[in-house]
């Protein structure tokens, strides 16, 4: 089950965090996402060195912990998406599709002329859209 | 092709272009006022005296498009927005309605109306318009 | 539907621009106006004025490309705007409805509005008529064909309504007058 999704900006500033695990412990998710940021840079530089060009954006499993897994996705503008899930068996393909849909929703919300890049995303429409994407996760 | 006038609905002469005009008896302002006044009256005259049309209140049901004398022929076109284009030519030239439409849509609209620095209702002098007009007129002859 | 085909033909005749570029450009313009004027009512007025300036030029472009004859009454005018005008310049059609008793007022309901893709109004701008430019365009264009009108938004989806509806009201027909004094 997806516990939380987050968006972090270019300067590692938090742009968005939505938790689906019951409301409390949002701080724990902030902490998890923050810790995963180091892994982002490491993974990104590894991929660059090995020269893989396919699916540059999807960085795969960032780090596993006892009761959850963290996946990462970085766009070409160095905006990072983080997915925290408690499911231990998840197909990479499902996660990639999820991130692509999430990326599309992110593009739409940043195209709003009233959105200031770098500020937190507070749009109720985006929140609803993310909820839909999360609930249809895994179902093709 | 002798000369061209473009008027707007308020009688302002937006453009006057001459290729070949050996005789001009009046000053340019008087000439333009006379031209506009004559066409305005001729237009309403032809509409009122029309023996066949239904003539709904705000729509002139018929509009003349040319007249010919022994020394010249005058071609006229008016759009719904009040822009009047008049061409004076040699009397042997045929119907120029399509040419007038072309001058309106492809030359006037393209080079004058779409120019953001042009304020509607003012006379204009635009090099691109003149060039396009000259070029087009050459192809007609 | 007879008017639909000239609308499509006119649409095919004009140059096309990328829809997202158009939407983003318009959005940037509204943002800049809000920053410059800071007052929502003032921005509404500016959008209307800008629309008016566009309309008085757009009418010639429309008349030259759309191949329509003069409209004999206001009903026809509204139909032409909805089916040909909107189609030609925005790529969407509108429906005309809600005529009043003497056919001087009607509603234009837009099927779709390319200006507002991706847009969400923040709380600070709730009084803003984001697409007010369209009101000015129609008013300006009709003024150049001898009709004085008043155009307002009746329903706006950005403000929570369920559709985009313009209320178009004909104030009067301005007859063509001889502009020079008779004795000159």
Rounded average pLDDT over B10-30: 84
CB spacing of B36 vs C180 below 8 angstroms: yes
Domains, chain B, ordered by start: 3-140 (3.30.450.70)
- Ranges of chain C with pLDDT below 70: 1-4, 179-184
* Helices and strands in chain A, H and E counts: 3, 5
DSSP string, A26-90: HHHHHHHHHHHHHHHHHHHHHHHHHT--TTTTEEEEEEE-SS-EEEEEE-TTS-EEEEEE--S--
A residues 91-110 closer than 8 Å to C (CB)? 108-109
Which chain C positions have a beta carbon within 8 Å of B101's beta carbon? 64
| Nearest-CB residue to B105 (from C65, C178, C179) | C65
Where are the domains positioned within chain A? 2-135
Per-residue pLDDT at C106: 92
- What distance in Å separates the CA atoms of residue B28 and residue C105, rounded to the nearest whole number? 45
CB spacing of A111 vs C117 below 8 angstroms: yes
Which chain B positions have a beta carbon within 8 Å of C72's beta carbon? 56, 58-59
Residues in chain B: 141
The percent of residues above 70 in pLDDT, for chain B, comes to 92
Which chain C positions have a beta carbon within 8 Å of B106's beta carbon? 64
Which chain C positions have a beta carbon within 8 Å of A127's beta carbon? none
Query: B54: pLDDT confidence band, cut at 50, 70 and 90?
Result: low
Which chain A positions have a beta carbon within 8 Å of C27's beta carbon? 111-114
CB spacing of C60 vs B81 below 8 angstroms: yes
CB spacing of C30 vs A125 below 8 angstroms: no
Which chains, if any, share at least 3 CB pairs under 8 A with chain C? A, B
Domains, chain C, ordered by start: 4-10+18-173 (3.30.1380.20)
**CATH for the stretch A2-135:** 3.30.450.70
Per-residue pLDDT at C183: 45
Nearest-CA distance B63 → chain C (Å) = 12
Buried/exposed C58-92: b ≥16 CB within 10 Å, e otherwise? bbbbbbbbbebebbeebeebbbbbbbbbbbbbbee
Pick from C146, C149, C160, C155: nearest CA to C98: C155
Task: Report yes or no on chains B and C touching (3+ CB pairs under 8 A).
Answer: yes
Which chain A positions have a beta carbon within 8 Å of C30's beta carbon? 113
Nearest-CA distance C67 → chain B (Å) = 10
The percent of residues above 70 in pLDDT, for chain C, comes to 95
> Is residue A125 predicted with pLDDT exceeding 90?
no
**ipTM of the complex, rounded to two decimals:** 0.81
- What distance in Å separates the CA atoms of residue B121 and residue B131, rounded to the nearest whole number? 22
User: Residue holding tokens 């093709």?
Assistant: A140
- What distance in Å separates the CA atoms of residue B95 and residue B84, rounded to the nearest whole number? 17
CB spacing of C118 vs A112 below 8 angstroms: yes
Nearest-CA distance C31 → chain A (Å) = 7
> Is residue B11 predicted with pLDDT exceeding 80?
yes
Per-residue tokens: B112? 């004058």
Output the pTM of the full model.
Answer: 0.85
How confident is the model over A3-51, as pLDDT tens digits?
A: 888 898 888 888 888 888 776 678 888 888 888 888 887 877 777 776 5
Q: Is A125 on the interface with C (CB under 8 A)?
A: yes
What are φ and ψ of residue C70, in 5° steps? -60, 140
Q: SS in 3 state form for C93-119?
A: CEEEECCCCCCCEEEEEECCCHHHCCC
Q: Which of A23-27, A102-106, A111-115 has the lowest mean pLDDT?
A: A23-27
């Amino acid at each position: 089950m997806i516990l939380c999704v987050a968006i972090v900006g270019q300067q590692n500033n938090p742009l968005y965090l939505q938790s689906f695990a019951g409301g409390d412990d949002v701080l724990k998710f902030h902490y998890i996402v923050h810790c995963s940021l180091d892994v982002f840079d490491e993974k990104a530089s590894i991929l660059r060195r090995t020269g893989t060009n396919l699916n540059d954006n999807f960085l795969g499993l960032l780090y596993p912990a006892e009761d959850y897994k963290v996946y990462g996705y970085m766009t070409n503008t160095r905006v990072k998406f983080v997915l925290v899930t408690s499911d231990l068996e998840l197909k990479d393909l499902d996660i990639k599709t999820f991130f692509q849909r999430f990326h599309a929703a992110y593009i739409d919300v940043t195209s709003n002329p009233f959105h200031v890049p770098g500020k937190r995303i507070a749009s109720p429409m985006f929140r609803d859209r993310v909820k839909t994407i999360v609930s249809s996760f895994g179902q093709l | 092709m002798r000369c061209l006038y473009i008027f707007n609905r308020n009688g302002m002469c937006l453009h006057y272009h001459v290729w070949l005009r050996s005789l001009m008896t009046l000053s340019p302002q008087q000439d333009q006022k006379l031209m506009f006044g004559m066409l305005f009256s001729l237009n309403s005259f032809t509409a009122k005296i029309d023996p066949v049309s239904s003539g709904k209140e705000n729509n002139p049901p018929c509009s003349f498009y040319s007249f010919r004398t022994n020394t010249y022929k005058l071609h006229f076109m008016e759009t719904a927005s009040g822009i009047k284009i008049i061409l004076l030519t040699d009397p042997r030239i045929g119907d120029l309605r399509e040419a007038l439409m072309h001058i309106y849509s492809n030359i006037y609209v393209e080079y004058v109306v779409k120019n953001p620095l042009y304020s509607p209702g003012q006379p204009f002098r635009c090099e691109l318009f003149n060039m396009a007009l000259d070029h087009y007129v050459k192809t007609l002859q | 539907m007879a008017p639909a085909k000239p609308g499509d033909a006119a649409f095919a005749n004009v140059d096309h621009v990328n829809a997202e570029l158009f939407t983003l450009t318009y959005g940037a313009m509204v943002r800049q106006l809000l920053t410059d004027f800071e007052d929502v009512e003032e921005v509404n007025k500016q959008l209307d004025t800008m629309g008016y300036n566009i309309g008085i030029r757009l009418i010639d472009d429309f008349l030259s490309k759309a191949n329509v004859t003069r409209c004999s009454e206001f009903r026809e005018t509204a139909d032409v705007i909805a089916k040909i005008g909107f189609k030609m310049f925005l790529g969407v059609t509108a429906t005309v409805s809600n005529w009043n008793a003497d056919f001087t007022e009607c509603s234009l309901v837009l099927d779709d509005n390319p200006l507002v893709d991706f847009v969400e109004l923040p709380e600070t701008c709730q009084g803003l008529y984001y697409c007010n430019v369209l009101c000015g365009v129609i008013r300006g264009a009709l003024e150049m064909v001898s009709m004085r009108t008043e155009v307002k938004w009746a329903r706006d989806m950005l403000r929570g309504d369920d559709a985009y509806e313009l209320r178009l009201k004909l104030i009067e027909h301005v007859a063509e007058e001889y502009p020079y004094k008779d004795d000159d």
